[in-house]
Structure 1
Amino acid sequence: MLSIFTRARKSLGHAAIALSALALAACEPVTTANQGPAASRGQAVQVALLVPAGSGRSNDDDLARGLENAARLAIRDLGANTIDLKVYRTSGQASVAAQQARLAVQEGAQVILGPVFAAEANAVGNAVAPQGINVLAFSNNTSVAGGNVYVLGQTFENTARRLAGYAAGNNAGRVMTVYDRTAAGEAGRTAIASGARQAGATVVGEEGYDFSQNGIRNAVPGIATRTQEAGANSVFLTADSAGALPMISQSLRDAGLGQDMVQFMGLTRWDIPTQTISLPGVQGGWFAQPDPGPWQQYTARYSQTYGGAPHPISGLAYDGIAAIGALAKSGRPITQANLTQASGFTGTGGAFRLLTNGTNERALAIAQISNNQVRVIDPAPRSFSRGFGF
């Protein structure tokens, strides 16, 4: 096994979450030029929540329960007569999700919240596009974004841009990308290249390794040598805690890439699960996360309401309701133009906004692991005003 941690089902990357007020960051002019049913001030918006319950897998049922709990908590925060929520079970299957989405529209749904997995989101988007219904999916897979489908999960592109920008301003802007030769690793490599270009950092090399213990063992000496030859002052890793991160990070350190030579950065959350922060290879490393303060508030309120900690991605359901509810309270239609307003919304991870290409931007903090502890070294911006940090 590559990792000391159990591999989880991962159609969705680790999502970071936090609490904030359910309000628009700012107001934009009302428009009905894009698709989406109209809403009237004081009239509840009909929202269909698609969750992966019914698959027969306990982890899917736990996730479904967490998403529904978070959505209902957000509705409670919005107040009466804002959102009328109806829950539909998809079994985590694309065909079932599409069928349920069509049923939801027949029953009056004005917007779809969910589903979780990328194939489901794609099927649902196609199923309800003729009716002009927008879909706010819980995926972070940007390949399914666009048209009437928006992904709410923290994306590789967003993370890479934030980290590369911070690195460029802190003597770590000459980046060696180190990626596993998997679909996720290749997607991460592409995101790092794009993010570095936008943020003013320079990718001086890209080095891959086969996703196995022998693959890492065989690749590391060459990676270390070429990193030094390229004059890189940072190494950007695509690996995650459930996969190659424990082995690749330590192996690169052992091969001579010490903390005094290169800065390690991670495209995934290095604090999930919490055991990760005790790995020797990640000490001194940087990763991006939403504002931890709001997430702690959300966790406390969720636990007080439901008697247990929230699922790590349940905050995405809260965020979706936050965006829909903000428009509903102001009587603005759930159109593409209003969903993608430049000012964005506030949700469980602080400021976020949906983009016209179906992806999103989230305000992220830069955190560092030191002595088995996580500390924020560059706080998350609070709004999308000038100097937001992307």
Structure 2
Amino acid sequence: MDGESTGQQQYSSSVGVDENGDVVYQRDSSVHTFGQDSHIIGINDGHIVNIVGSQQAQDAQYEVSDVQIRDDNLTKKVVLGPTVKWKKVVNSSGPSPRPRHGHRAVAIKDLIIVFGGGNEGIVDELHVYNTTTKQWFVPSVRGDVPSGCAAYGIVCNGTHIFIFGGMVEYGRYTNDLYELQASRWEWRKLRPRPPRSGCAGPSPRLGHSFSLASNQVCYIFGGLANGSSDPKQNKTIYLDDLFTLDIHGSSGLQWEQPVTYGTRPCARESHSAVIYETEARRQLFIYGGMNGCRLGDLWVLDLDTMTWDNPLIGGVVPIPRSLHTANLIGHRMYIYGGWVVKVSENLPRARAGHCSAVVNNRIYIWSGRDGYRKAWNNQVCCKDMWYLETSVPGIPSRVQLVRASVAGLEVRITRSFKCCFVLNFYS
């Protein structure tokens, strides 16, 4: 995934427009046609190119529903075409969970297991969705069922699910570790020993990352802690610590706090983390998050040398964000959603069918069909007028229009800085 050779296959790609006006993306011998309403970002002869068909109205900024991918040291905004396309799940059955946030999910074969989170209070509910039958079901759990929690970490190893930390109520966080044996839906509270170095294990936290490598070692990074003993007096502390846990250790569970090298990421919470492995290396990728402001940096920890790196990234870099998700498929990391900083409140809404005209160095637009709103089967039209200042306003001309009516015109003629004249025209 970085610029160095990893022994993986190298690809060449190009984009363009064919004779029918369709956007075409070619990767080696594979060719994809996206249609005239497509928008694609790709590489031609080592250069980033942006091909746009006859798109519908859009804002000139990222929405939080965008999807970004990072592939071979290049970040690109995903083109939703025939091979990469959102599809809404419809006609699902069973007791679906209530809408919520702060929950987490893992997959075991065709099953998606969702736990915790909440909206009006944090819940300890466990729901399972079968992607083959499109059915939700609520398994009957037993054992040491954890309290409801949100913004915790979760990993899955076979049929064993591990959750760590999270928020159990406002201002009160936990550092408990639980295991769910999904083959019999049984919870078990785990009590790892503290690190051999003598330091304490990970403190109670939320918004941390919890990642599992193929060598059965879990990695916890960052998060948010409460520096006050009183949950009602929440004192925010952003964390930058790293802990490991070998879940199949021969001597039982024990936290470790490894020594790392190089410049490490700044403290953060609500970031994303994925582990990328090849025959040559094993890496932990940390992206984005929050530490008082949204972050958009990417960090890589080589898990063999425990060395941090902040690689130089090309392509279309996503807007800094937190509370997003990141998933690894093959050699690509897909980033979706999250909170982003609004670029500007002072922007016209997306629209189509509007009018525009140029006055001096300003482009004026007025009305048009609203790109977001629709009333029944009727288009909603915008009522506002905007202008785009394309350069620094110049000095006013000597003749300026003051007032116009059906009866006449009133103009101002500036002769010098010391005097001016007003000339009225009447019919």
Q: Place the TM-score, normalised by the shorter chain, in its bin.
A: under 0.3
Higher strand proportion (structure 1 or 2)? 2
With normalisation by structure 1, the TM-score equals 0.26
- Answer 1 or 2: higher relative contact order, Cα 8 Å, separation at least 6: 1
Higher helix proportion (structure 1 or 2)? 1
